Amino acid sequence: MRNFLTTTSAAAVLATSLGGAAFAASHGGYTIGISNTVQGNGWREEMVCAMKAQALVSGKVDSLNIAHRNTDAAGQLEDIRNLIEAGVDAIVLNPSNADGVNSAIEEAIAKDIVVVAVDQAVTAEGAYILSNNQEEYAYLGAKWLFEEMGGSGDVVYMRGAAGAGADNDRHTGFQRALAEHPDVNVAHEVFTGWQQDQGKQQVLDYLATGIPFDGVWTSGIDNVIVDAFIESDVPLVPIVGADNAGFVGQLASVDGFTGAAVTNPGSIGGAGVTLAIQILDGDVPADSTVLVDPSLWANNDPEGMKLIEAAQNPNLDPEWPVSVSIPGWTTYSMDEIIACKGPGE
């Protein structure tokens, strides 16, 4: 539920910077800005749809101002400054990296705009962070994989986007698991950019070399990796991915495939909207960071298989996580997030 962790406390900053009028504006009618720097990735698309659905069902948001495109820190700085200029009440963003957009975030806070970073952390004083626990995500999956490999062998390490905060945190978790299994060797390391086509081609290219390996850890580009093995007519090795609908379906249906999904809900975007509204309503938490801890569903474990079977949902895009809601943080229905409609749409 709501387990706030102490990092840099933003409560004092907000209490000082937000005037009485802003705190008193607890009747809704808010305009919320959204900033996202990866487009065409199913996880990010679900995140944006969760933001829209939660804003709609809250009844407190009149409109969303959405900057949703493929860009870098420089582009996101521009997008955030455009949102500031547009006069939004809050900004919910998935940052390009932890430090690269701090200057614009600080400008927003100086103008009494509430800032909530989701999925990845920022280091700007006064911002709130609501994120999946990315380090634990990688550690859980890598630990399971290395144990499934018998504690030794060669692994293909498929990362996300170079320099992204979530990728850095996941790398820390992966390295922690690797340190516990010194006989596991990283045979091949690539950055997928969290793009399905790119990740699939990278695996196809490596499979074509004929170099043997014993397992694959993925940063959420997963079902296409299984597809690559099948299309190449190569025996499957254990593969770890996220709880994306396509991959979860493969865990239940592909013969001879041993794998595990680690939960990483894109609905964290909707949770970020909820937190922004709470702060605008004057319900300011004492601390600035909340982490949502993941769980692992392995298809060679009876309890994990029960969760995998229960999560099957043919209505979801294969690239969308099956964990479409976060109890205590999101209140929309399955139909509402799939509809992907925000206020006024």
* Per-residue three-class SS string for the chain: CCCEECCCCCHHHHHHHCCHHHHHCCCCCEEEEEEECCCCCHHHHHHHHHHHHHHHHHCCEEEEEEEECCCCHHHHHHHHHHHHHHCCCEEEECCCCCCCCHHHHHHHHHCCCEEEEECCCCCCCCCEEEEECHHHHHHHHHHHHHHHCCCCEEEEEEECCCCCHHHHHHHHHHHHHHHCCCCEEEEEEEECCCCHHHHHHHHHHHHHHCCCCCEEEECCCCHHHHHHHHHCCCCCCCEEEECEHHHHHHHHHCCCCCEEEECCCCCHHHHHHHHHHHHHCCCCCCCCEEEECCCEEECCCHHHHHHHHHCCCCCCCCCCECCCCCCCCCCCCHHHHHHCCCCCC
Q: Which residue has the higher pLDDT, 120 or 18?
A: 120
> For residue range 292-324, what is the model confidence (pLDDT) as tens digits?
999 999 999 999 999 999 999 999 999 999 999
Q: Which residue has the higher pLDDT, 23 or 332?
A: 332
For position 27, what pLDDT does the model report?
Answer: 60
For position 167, what pLDDT does the model report?
Answer: 95
For position 97, what pLDDT does the model report?
Answer: 87
Mean pLDDT of the 254-263 span:
97
For position 57, what pLDDT does the model report?
Answer: 98
> For residue range 103-146, what is the model confidence (pLDDT) as tens digits?
999 999 999 999 999 998 999 999 999 999 999 999 999 999 99
pLDDT confidence bin for 285, thresholds 50/70/90: confident
What is the residue-averaged pLDDT of the chain? Answer: 91
pLDDT confidence bin for 98, thresholds 50/70/90: confident
pLDDT at residue 22 tops 50:
no
pLDDT at residue 213 tops 90:
yes
Domains of the chain with CATH codes = 4-132+265-292+324-339 (3.40.50.2300), 134-262 (3.40.50.2300)
pLDDT at residue 73 tops 90:
yes
